[in-house]
């Protein structure tokens, strides 16, 4: 992938494929922000990425649990979803800072709701509606 990339994603299968492609470019300690409204495909992208990294179980949305942890092919991965966070201080109760310090890939949905608690992202992926599919913008920052 280029440092900046923009592409059209036609459907759910293409979003899974995009996640798989992204997985092939990761080194193993990235903080990745997934930005987009509800229903844009952030969790679908995460499913493709997590599966490509060797996890073979069910990948579910962490909307209600705030974080799901996965391991595959020697990599740890945290998938955060802060949609239900009302105050960023709520993250203090789940050991969030310790998770950020670990050698792991960290996917964060709704990063704007954790304002002041997150360091700068290594990668930002923005997903927006583009009828009938989605437009995905990839920006590598570090």
8 A C-beta contact, residue 54 and residue 73: yes
pLDDT tens track for 11-47: 999 999 999 999 999 988 999 999 999 999 999 999 9
What is the token pair recorded at 88? 């960023």
pLDDT tens track for 80-134: 999 999 999 988 888 888 999 999 999 999 999 998 899 999 999 999 999 899 9
Instruction: Count structural domains, the chain.
Output: 1
- CATH number for the domain harbouring residue 104: 3.40.50.300
pLDDT tens track for 45-69: 999 999 999 898 888 888 888 899 9
Would residue 70 count as lying in a domain? yes
Q: What is the mean pLDDT of the chain?
A: 92
8 A C-beta contact, residue 16 and residue 91: no
Tell me which residue range forms the domain holding 12: 4-84+94-140
Would residue 101 count as lying in a domain? yes
pLDDT at position 63 is 83
8 A C-beta contact, residue 141 and residue 124: yes
Would residue 78 count as lying in a domain? yes
Would residue 89 count as lying in a domain? no
Would residue 69 count as lying in a domain? yes
pLDDT at position 134 is 97
């Amino acid at each position: 992938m280029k440092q900046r990339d923009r592409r059209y994603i036609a459907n759910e299968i293409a979003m899974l494929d995009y996640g798989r492609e992204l997985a092939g470019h990761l080194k193993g300690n990235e903080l990745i922000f997934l930005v987009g409204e509800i229903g844009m495909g952030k969790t679908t992208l995460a499913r493709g990425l997590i599966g490509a990294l060797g996890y073979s179980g069910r990948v579910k949305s962490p909307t209600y649990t705030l974080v799901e942890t996965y391991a595959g092919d020697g990599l740890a991965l945290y998938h955060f979803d802060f949609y239900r966070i009302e105050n960023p201080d709520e993250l203090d109760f789940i050991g969030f800072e310790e998770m950020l310090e670990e050698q792991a890939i960290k996917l964060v949905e709704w990063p704007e709701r954790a304002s002041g608690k997150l360091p700068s992202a290594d990668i930002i992926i923005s997903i927006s509606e583009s009828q009938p599919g989605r437009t995905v913008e990839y920006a590598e920052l570090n």
